[in-house]
Structure 1
Amino acid sequence: MELKLKNVSKDYGSVLAVDNVNYSMETGVYGLLGVNGAGKTTLMTMLCTVTCPSAGGITWDGDDIFELEEDYRGLLGYLPQDFGYYPDLSVFDYLMYIAALKGIPPAAAKKRIRELLDMVGLLKYRKRKMKALSGGMVRRAGIAQAMLNDHKILILDEPTAGLDPNERIRFRNLISELSEDRLVLLSTHIVSDVEYIAEQIVLMQEGRFFRTGTSEELIAGMDEEVWTCTVPRQKVNQYIQQYPVGNVKHVSGGAELRIISKTRPSENAVREAPTLEDAFLLYFGENGGDEDAAV
């Protein structure tokens, strides 16, 4: 089982959204991490055959996905960042409607839907209207509709956008469970979404894959070190302009900063163990952790 991108590019006139990407994915969770405008959504729409590459090709087990057509789409579950639904339908009726569109016989659909609703924790809410669900519940209903055919490939675009911390944790646990015998590609700009569940992480910037590996490998690839130090509050802006600063915490007598630097930024600076969030800040700059950025 292999989904492979070979020299894949996509341009929209003068804008090059995806630039000569090469990568191979098998079973497991893959995290596609990048800021707004990195090209993540464009890449995912190509993997879902919504749009075609301008150059290069995408294959599934050696066959071009655009030539496979329905044979490939039958393996594919897709959750876009914003998916449409009829607000006045109940959760169960919404999933029955999607199942009908996918050609699943009613008896099989009812059985599968109950299984999925139990899996995503919505079984007791099956009669509730979609418009009455919380944001987290809507995303879980989205996962259920993406999994109706028990797909081997699950592609999720910014699946936790707008969720509260508890819903985000629940969602990550669900994705981890679903990845046991399928390929899951999760696109996000939120580091914690992929740090603990993705077996491989791809950092994407300006349409290119410029770092790939496990969380540990990406952290180990940092040349800079991470420090914490306390500085006078009036000097905080000076440090922010001079160094990548991951956190500012006001404390008695000043402000505690988490700084990325090759050299000790101040006399009282103490080395800290780096995290994936530190690596993300280093590679993507001060906007790297902007959870409100739209994609």
Structure 2
Amino acid sequence: MELRFENVSKIFGEVHAVDHVTYTMSKGVYGLLGLNGAGKTTLMRMLCTVTSPTEGIITWNGNDLFKLGEKYRGELGYLPQDFGYYPDLTVYDYLMYIASIKGLRPIAAKSRGSELLEQVGLKKYKKRKMKTLSGGMLRRVGIAQAMLNDPKILVLDEPTAGLDPNERIRFRNLISELSEERLVLLSTHIVSDIEFIANEIIMMKDGRFCYTGTSEQLISSMDLRVWNCAVPKKEVNHYLEKYKVGNIKTTSGGAELRILSKVPPTENAVREESTLEDAFLLYFGEKAGD
């Protein structure tokens, strides 16, 4: 099981949405982390053969995706940021409709659909119309439709966008459960979505992979330390302009700042343990003055 990007670029006019990416994936969960506009969705659309690369090649087990055609798409499950559905269809009828598009036989579709509704916790809602579902329920239906063909590759584009904290936790647990024996690529700009479930994290910026590795490797690669500093309220802007500041907590005497710096920013600075969110700030954050 090998998915490989070889010098892949996608160019729109003068914009390099994806810029000479080379990378190999196998079984496991890969978290694609980056700000909006980093090129994540364009990369995934190429992976799903929705659009083709301007340069380079993407291969699945050594074969060009676009030459494999339907054979490759039969092993692919895709949940885009916004997936289309007929609002008056029931959850179950929607899954049967998607199963027919994917070419599943009716008996297999019914069995698979019921199994997935149980897995995503929507069995008792199978007769509810799609238009009556909450955002979290819709995302779970989206996962179910992506899993109908039992794909070897599961691609999830911003799957927790707009979900409340409880739904996000439920979704992460579901993705972790579904990741056995397949390759899962999950894109997000929310660090907590992938911190504990991704086997490997890919940080993407300006169309390129600026860092790849495990969460622990990414944190240990940081060349800045993390400090908790108590400062007077009138000095907060000074620190925002001079340092990358992760958190600001207002106190009765001023503010507590979580600052990334090689040396203590203040005399009272207390060293803190670095997190993946700190690494995200290091790679993607800016000082207020920039």
2:195 aligned residue: 195
Aligned to 1:181: 181
In structure 1, the residue matched to 2:86 is 86
Matched, 1:171 2:171: yes
Structure 2 Cα separation of the partners of residues 113 and 252 of structure 1: 56
| Residue in structure 2 matched with residue 231 of structure 1 by the alignment | 231
TM-score, normalized by length of structure 2? 0.98
Deviations 1:44-97 (A, max 9, x none): 000000111011100011011110001100000000000001111110011111
* Counterparts of 1:49 and 1:259, CA distance in 2: 42
Q: Deviations over 1:149-193 (max 9, x none)?
A: 000100000000000000000000000000011000000001001
- Give, in whole Å, the separation in 1 of the partners of 2:195 and 2:29: 11
Equivalent residues, number: 287
Q: Which amino acid in structure 1 is aligned with residue 211 of structure 2?
A: R
What is residue 293 of structure 1 aligned with on the other side? none
Structure 1 distance, partners of 2:58, 2:276, is 29
Once the 2 structures are TM-superposed, how far is the Cα of residue 246 of structure 1 from its aligned partner?
0.5
Match of 1:12 in 2: 12
SS, match of residue 181 in structure 1: coil
Q: Which residue does 1:128 correspond to in 2?
A: 128
Once the two structures are superposed, what CA deviation does each residue of 1:256-285 show, in whole Å capped at 9, x if it has no partner?
110001111101100000000000001101
Change (3 A) 1:286 1:161: farther
Any unmatched runs of 5+ in structure 1? Answer: 288-295
String of CA shifts for 1:195-223, please: whole Å, max 9, x gaps: 10000000000000010000000000000
- Which secondary structure state, in structure 1, belongs to the residue aligned with residue 179 of structure 2? helix
Task: Please state whether the residue corresponding to 2:88 is helix, strand or coil.
Answer: coil
Q: Which amino acid aligns with 1:279?
A: A
Q: In 2, distance between residues paired with 1:113 and 1:233?
A: 57
> What is the letter of the counterpart of residue 182 of structure 1?
R
Q: Distance in 1 between matches of 2:248 and 2:14?
A: 39
Cα distance in 1 between the residues matched to 2:77 and 2:99 = 12
Aligned to 1:116: 116
SS in 1 for 2:22: strand
Separation (CA, whole Å) in 1 of partners of 2:104 and 2:184 = 23
Give SS of 1:230's match: strand
Query: Separation in 2 of the partners of 1:237 and 1:126?
Result: 53
Q: What is the CA deviation profile of residues 74-122 of structure 1, one whole-angstrom value per residue up to 9, with x for unaligned ones? A: 0000000000011111100111111111111111111110100000000
State the alpha-carbon separation in 2 of the partners of residues 285 and 219 from structure 1: 15
Q: Give the match for residue 263 of structure 1.
A: 263
The residue that corresponds to 1:292 in the other structure is none
What is the letter of the counterpart of residue 144 of structure 2?
Answer: A
Match of 2:249 in 1: 249
- The range that moved more, 130-139 or 278-287, is 278-287
Letter in 2 for 1:5: F
Q: TM-score, normalised by structure 1?
A: 0.96
Alpha-carbon shift at residue 252 of structure 1 (Å) = 2.4
Counterpart Cα distance in 2 of 1:286 and 1:110: 51
Structure-1 separation of matches of 2:101 and 2:259:
52
- Whole-Å separation in 2 of the counterparts to 1:267 and 1:61: 56
CA distance, structure 2, for counterparts of residue 262 and residue 251 of structure 1: 25
Query: How much has 1:286 moved relative to structure 2?
Result: 4.3
| In the alignment, structure 1 residue 283 sits paired with structure 2 residue 278 | no
Structure 2: where are the runs of 5+ without partners? none
Q: In the TM superposition, what are the counterparts of 1:22-41 in structure 2 within 5 Å?
A: 22-41=22-41
Report the identity percentage: 72
Code of the aligned partner of 1:222: M
What is the CA–CA distance in structure 2 between the aligned matches of 1:240 and 1:161, rounded to whole Å?
Answer: 28
Alignment correspondent of 2:46: 46
